[in-house]
Structure 1
């Protein structure tokens, strides 16, 4: 008799609880449907906004990996906003607070564990929008020089003049200075040389300027500059500076090669000597050896 009473009481409690849940579901059904609709709506918004941003980024960013990651991050943010709004419509404030707190703790742990990786990732995003560094540019950075072949979320890849590839983390590029030859169309090239002490210095200066000006066309306010620098051990040294089209380091080498040939021909035609170090051995003092008489 007592056992039947306990069973009936338990069944009644279960039925009462199920009834309360059913009433709660019925009462919250409009909010539940609205929350689902809002969440689905944000998914579609994220999809179309992602396509729009991808089209805009194609005009500014050449790196597909950067575009894809940027679009994915933006879509994830939009979907998360929709998720939190849906939780708010369901009056799940406590759950929302717990989710935010858990996300903060997890985010902090992931950030500490992947500090170097995240630094390179954010640096990659910065580099993708940096006009001073683009694919195809010739750069010098971190002791390496070459053509930029790839910029991704972790590193940049440059191809050196010896046909070898160098992978440099993005954080190194952002933190260290780099020189980009491709950002300017014209660059000033400097060439050092020297002439003998018995040379006519004014004639040498005029001849060098005329030779370089005839070899390399100077534009606008550009001009060939010539300055004597020092009295060297065997020559009076000078530097000549001129402008030329430069987009990579090879262009400088080619221009210097052309300038050296032109100056050498001009000097030879006018018997101007380009001296080289000479070692002279003086035998004027004879070494005498006196033998001791026995």
Structure 2
């Protein structure tokens, strides 16, 4: 080291004026800047004519050599070699320290080269995989960088520290404390990595998470952002997504739509099913394969419920509602043209065997009161007829064959 510093003294003796020293310093720094901006070109030039590893070595060697050369020129021109040599002597830097510094420098250079090599390998491997997104490639590269640099720093510390075990034990306890204090954040980060590699959905997919529904706009390590159909941006933590049921309506590239259609009990169900199938087959939104399907689902309160099912391509919320609207309008037109009734909600009232309920329809037409009379018997076999002209002074009988008269005013009388 002393020999190298002493060899730079001739620069201060050769360049004596301050103006020349400034010129030499500017030239040295300018040369360093030129190398910093052009070393990539040198690296590509060497890589094209040999191997990528040689290009990395050439670029790193050029940078290192240029930095040392520029530093030596500046120190020698300004006559600071003696001062620097005195500082080295006072600090008692021996051969062992220099050897450790050289080993550390080599390890750092090797780490830099290994990271670049691994990045190149990952790009080649993932470049042929169409299922891996650019976001996943970037996350994989960053994770690889963290792992390699962590191992390298541990090795460098092992070069300078004799008892590295105590330091690692302390770091382990520190990691446990930090993990317990930030377990929620760590859980979210781990869930983010799981989502990125498990890929239950991607950016642009239409998903449903619990009560939230929308289009995925961003996936980070901490949270996932979706845009709802109301134009709102919703941030969902990744740990919530990992522990919830996620419905991806864009995964298969198609979506099934089902419309429940009620058909009157007096109508021909087979004819109604054929009409529905023809309507869905002619619908511009419906796919030809899978074909539309008509199924009988249940006996409803007012009619037979048929399920009209068809598929649409490229699922989108707007596309789905347009398809449903077009299908419902077309079904209504065809049913009206063919005379198939879609029943209104209705209920049928009936009496039990021991009760006779009668409503006088003529009273409603005449605007009078409607008489509703019931008669019950003990044996349930006979029904008592009401009196033609009920006596207002007559008390209702509570016996086995007695009846009670009820009078109900029709709403039109009000």
What is the 5 A alignment of 1:136-175?
136-175=204-243
Partner residue in 1 for 2:144: 74
CA contact (8 A) 1:139 1:145 kept: yes
How many residue pairs end up in the alignment?
266
Query: Relative to structure 2, which stretch is displaced further, 47-56 or 71-80?
Result: 47-56
1:174 positional shift: 1.6
1:138 to partner: Cα distance: 0.7
Structure 1 gaps, min length 5: 1-20
Larger Rg: 2
Q: Report what 2:329 is aligned to.
A: 261
Counterpart mapping for 1:193-208 below 5 A: 193-208=261-276
Q: Cα distance, 1:38 vs. partner?
A: 2.8
Q: CA deviation at 1:74?
A: 3.3
Q: Within 2, Cα distance between the matches of 1:232 and 1:249?
A: 29
SS in 1 for 2:371: coil
Cα shift readout 1:101-136 (whole Å, capped 9, x = no counterpart) = 111111111111111101111211222233331111
The residue that corresponds to 1:6 in the other structure is none
Higher mean C-alpha displacement, 135-144 vs 27-36 = 27-36
> Which of the pair has the greater relative contact order for Cα pairs under 8 Å at 6+ separation?
1
Q: CA RMSD in A?
A: 3.1
Residue aligning to 1:11: none
The answer to whether structure 1 residue 219 and structure 2 residue 288 are counterparts is: yes
Taking structure 1 as the reference length, what is the TM-score of the superposition? Answer: 0.77
1:157 and 1:165 in contact (8 A); partners too:
yes
Q: Secondary structure at the match of 1:129?
A: helix
CA distance in 1, matches of 2:222, 2:313: 33
Alignment of 1:236-251 (within 5 A): 236-251=304-319
Aligned to 1:286: 371
Residues 1:173 and 1:62: Cα distance change in structure 2 (over 3 Å): farther
Alignment of 1:96-115 (within 5 A): 96-115=164-183
Deviates more, 1:235-244 or 1:210-219: 210-219
Query: Kindly tell me: are residues 101 and 219 of structure 1, through their superposed partners in 2, closer, same or farther at Cα, counting changes over 3 Å?
Result: same
Query: Please, what TM-score do these two structures have when normalized by structure 2?
Result: 0.57
Alignment of 1:84-123 (within 5 A): 84-90=154-160, 92-94=161-163, 96-123=164-191
Gaps of 5+ in 2: 1-90, 350-357, 361-369, 374-389, 395-414
Structure 2 contact 301–347 (Cα < 8 Å) conserved: no
- Distance, in Å, in 2 between the alignment partners of 1:93 and 1:144 is 56
Q: Distance in 2 between matches of 1:290 and 1:38?
A: 120
Preserved contact between residue 140 and residue 146 of structure 1 (Cα < 8 Å): yes
Question: Which whole-Å CA distance do the structure 2 matches of 1:53 and 1:118 have between them?
Answer: 29
1:50–1:72: 8 Å Cα contact kept in structure 2? no
2:344 corresponding residue in structure 1: 276
For the structure 1 residues 170 and 53, does the alpha-carbon distance in structure 2 shift closer, same or farther, using more than 3 Å as the test?
A: farther
Deviates more, 1:49-58 or 1:159-168: 49-58
* 8 A contact 1:194–1:236 mirrored in 2: yes
CA positional deviation for 1:72:
4.7
- Structure 2: how far apart are the matches of 1:82 and 1:194? 71
SS state of the match for residue 198, structure 2?
A: coil
